[in-house]
Structure 1
Amino acid sequence: MRVVAGERKGMPLKAIAGNTTRPTTDKVKESIFNIIGPFFDGGIALDLFAGSGGLGIEALSRGAEQAVFIEKDVKAFQVLQENIKKCRYEDYAELFRIDAKRAVKALLKRDLSFKLVFLDPPYHHKEYYDLVQVLVDNEKVQRDGIILCEHAKEVALPHSFGAFILQRQEIYGGTIISVYRCAGEEGE
């Protein structure tokens, strides 16, 4: 695993040992960022179920000004911390070792909104995708923002989360990447 593009291009990232997480491969990560926009001009990214932090770190490397990482697994969180430090993003990253549901509840109390939301929960827990609706209902995703969900083929996500409509889906083996944007906010 490595940072694919931007200011930390080529920086190797540590992977999590074992099979408790599914890191997004470099090929899929590159594809994701080609879909949602190769580079960003600021904004805050939210990486729920961050694992080793590959998606949030990639967003920072490509121009996001800040990223919030949520990961409850102890081993994954340690690797996430190491990767943030290795990439020298300590001043641009907030890391929380907490369950995603509790994290979202806490984020609702904060005065911030996200330009990018990455959601890659354990595939067998469809209820975690409901967190997207909570963020949208509470105006925590900017209208020009992007929501990206990584999920198994067997998981059918809704056509929309409020004003955020499914714009595109890409299939990579048994994984689907679903991209949501506000209608008329495609920015392409």
Structure 2
Amino acid sequence: MRVIAGKYGKHRLKAVPGNNTRPTTDKIKESLFNIIGPYFDEDTRVLDFYAGSGALGIEAISRGAAEVYGFEKNRQAIATIKENVAAVGIEDQYTLKAGDNRKAIGQLRLEKPDLQFDLVFLDPPYKGQQLVDVIESFLADNWIAADGRLVCELSKEDVLPEAFGPLQVVKDVTYGITRLVIYRMEEEV
């Protein structure tokens, strides 16, 4: 596993030991970033809600994002994120929130009432995922910026709605067993 492009391109990243997480392959990660735009401006804020090894957030920073908030509850994954962030040297741009994701994001809203994200990654474990609930709560709590994008990585059999109010599907692609559904905030008509 590695950083694909940008400032930290080709930097090796550690995977989370064991079978509790499913890392995004380099091929899918490269395709994903080609779809959403290969590089970001210095104002881009990213939320990686199921951070795993931290690879998606680290890739976003490497491609110019200002900061990433990574959420993770698995202890091995938390340790891996810390190692990967330190190895790349981006501790000042990557904020790790450990513990129950829903509680942690509620706490973040109390700490930063006006924070919004330009890019949101939702890559939960395939089993037992509750993406619809998570997306609806993100919209209700105003986490997604006006023209923000939300990227869901899920099993190819899983189904998501074409829209969540102003959040509309702009791309839906399948790679083997993995499906990427990309939403963008659009003005409601």
CA contact (8 A) 1:119 1:129 kept: no
Q: 1:55 to 1:141 in 2, by over 3 A?
A: same
CA distance in 2 between counterparts of 1:16 and 1:63 reads: 25
Q: Counterparts of 1:128 and 1:159 in 2: how far apart (Å)? A: 13
Q: Normalising to structure 1: TM-score of the pair?
A: 0.94
Paired with 2:124 and 2:132, the residues of 1 have a C-alpha distance of 8
Q: How many residues are paired up?
A: 184
5 Å matches for 1:156-175? 156-175=159-178
Q: Distance in 1 between matches of 2:23 and 2:35?
A: 19
Rounded to whole Å, the distance in 1 between the matches of 2:30 and 2:12 is 15
Provide Cα deviations, 1:21-76, integer angstroms capped at 9, x if missing partner: 00001110000000000000021100011000010000000011000000100001
Instruction: Say which is worse superposed, 119-128 or 60-69, in terms of deviation.
Output: 119-128
Task: Could you tell me which runs of 5 or more consecutive residues in structure 2 were left unpaired when the two chains were aligned.
Answer: none
Q: How does 1:44-63 map to 2 (within 5 A)?
A: 44-63=45-64
Match of residue 13 from structure 1:
13
2:150 — aligned with what?
A: 147
* Deviation for aligned residue 1:106: 2.1
Match of 2:4 in 1: 4
User: Is it true that 1:22 corresponds to 2:22 in the alignment?
Assistant: yes
Q: Partners in 2 of 1:94 and 1:34 — Cα distance?
A: 25
| Consecutive aligned runs of 4 or more in structure 1 exceeding 6 Å deviation | none
Query: Cα distance 1:107–1:162, how it changes in 2: closer, same or farther (>3 A)?
Result: farther
What SS does the aligned partner of 2:92 have? helix
Specify the alignment match of 1:180 in structure 2: 183
Tell me what 2:136 maps to. 133
Displacement after TM superposition at 1:162 (Å): 2.4
SS of residue in 2 equivalent to 1:45: strand
CA distance, structure 2, for counterparts of residue 108 and residue 163 of structure 1: 21
Q: CA deviation at 1:180?
A: 0.1
Letter paired with 1:163 = P
Per-residue deviation at 1:104?
A: 2.6
TM-score (structure 2 length as normaliser): 0.93
Once the two structures are TM-superposed, the CA of residue 3 in structure 1 deviates from its matched residue by 0.3
